[in-house]
Structure 1
Amino acid sequence: MGGTGEAGRRGDGARRPVGRRPGESGSRDAILAAARDTFAERGFAGATMRAIAARAGVDPSLIRHFFGSKAALFAAAVAAGSDVASHLRDALTGPRDGIGARVADAYLRLWEDPEVGEALRALIRSGVALGGPAEQLLEAIGASDGAPLPLERVLAGTHLLGVAYARFIAQLPAVAALDHDELVELIAPAIQRYLVPDGASRG
């Protein structure tokens, strides 16, 4: 009589539990953290799913289970590691006087944050090959809500992107040697002119 039967003899492997498996949330977080580190070190082209999986301590098939593709993982890792647009939108609010200094200060602080900076470095290193991520970063710098960016914000974004590349990627001595406040003071007038072209105070 079949209380145990064939299914019982097969033991725990006979049935697959439904719903989210225990530990899936922790595995997903570990994958995202490993992806941010690996993309930051190697860029998009150099980072492999196998290397990310090894760093996270999971099987590569679990990455495909959660994210599907390397491009989707990349986008998720950057999104999880930063909230660039919201920080810059905050800097853009308030008096027009001094907006250049606020945006420059907020932008540099994002790069100086250990986790956010890793995500931004990964995005810049991968942007040339991917196209899309570079555009996404520019939109974030311009605090875009998805609408086409005004020319002034495109120019402000490219200026800030160039400064970040020189300081945090290429580490050019003349730029890297400046402290935070000195660099803000130097670039704020240009950002002010881009964002407030009608002659408001340059902050």
Structure 2
Amino acid sequence: MAADVTGRPGRRPGPTETRERILACARRLFAEKGYDGASLRGIAREAGVDPALVHHFFGGKQGVFVAAMRFPIDPAAVLEQVAHMPRERLGEALARVFLEVWDDPARRAPALALLRSAMTNEQAATMMRQFVSSALLGPITERYRIPPLRVQAAVGQMIGMAVLRYVLEVEPIASAPPQELAAMLAPVLQHHLDSS
């Protein structure tokens, strides 16, 4: 008879059960220690699995966070979408990707939950800040050599748009076509991203 991860006899957990156990442990560790404090090894140890298995399922800590927290975007996919853009069109690319994510109801619900949590809970805010800084903002500042303050100003512009459009639902911005908003947002983002 096979033994489970605790050494007790019984049926071995299947891939789905193991994956869910890893996610549950990851949620707990991210909540306790924040994004920076939780490690892939710690998550694996907590779940009673080899770190290679966590890597196999999720590709790394960023992937575990995206899955565990039901983060509405994969930063690697966003970076891939904007990576080939020339610097002078980066604002346009970010505006388009941002509105694509927020206008998709399936991704908007978890994005709203995360935004509201970060605005009302210091622990959630810390975790989001650490994750967004290391997984999204850091790579953009490095790739394009943009000062962090300028990238953060652009992100602030997008968060403000999200709050007005999707949280407060202020009209006419709440019902404006995404293409119109992207056209208005892009030059503002580009202004922030252009070094002086």
Look up the SS of the partner of 1:16 in the other structure.
coil
Output aligned runs, 1:16-165, within 5 Å.
Answer: 16-17=9-10, 19-20=12-13, 24=17, 28=20, 67-68=27-28, 71=31, 75=65, 76-79=67-70, 81-84=72-75, 86-88=77-79, 90-128=81-119, 129=121, 130=123, 131-136=125-130, 138-139=132-133, 143-145=137-139, 150-165=148-163
Look up the SS of the partner of 1:97 in the other structure.
helix
Q: Residue 40 of structure 2 corresponds to which residue in structure 1?
A: none
Q: Residue 175 of structure 2 corresponds to which residue in structure 1?
A: 177
CA deviations on 1:5-59 (whole Å, 9 max, x unpaired) are: xxxxxxxxxx732632586158x39xx7xxxxxxxxxxxxxxxxxxxxxxxxxxx
TM-score (structure 1 length as normaliser):
0.58
Q: Residue 189 of structure 2 corresponds to which residue in structure 1?
A: 191
TM-score (structure 2 length as normaliser):
0.60
Look up the SS of the partner of 2:107 in the other structure.
helix
Aligned residues of 1:142 and 1:153 also touching (Cα < 8 A): no
Mark the runs of 5 or more structure 1 residues left unpaired by the alignment.
Answer: 1-14, 33-62, 199-203
Cα distance in structure 2, aligned partners of 1:106 and 1:175: 18
State which structure, 1 or 2, has the greater radius of gyration over its C-alpha atoms.
Answer: 1
Mark the runs of 5 or more structure 2 residues left unpaired by the alignment.
Answer: 1-7, 36-64
In 2 relative to 1, CA 119–109 (structure 1 residues): closer, same or farther, beyond 3 Å? same
Identity %: 24
Cα distance in structure 1, aligned partners of 2:29 and 2:79: 29
Look up the SS of the partner of 1:143 in the other structure.
helix
Corresponding residue pairs, total: 151
CA RMSD of aligned residues (A): 3.7
Q: Which amino acid aligns with 1:77?
A: A
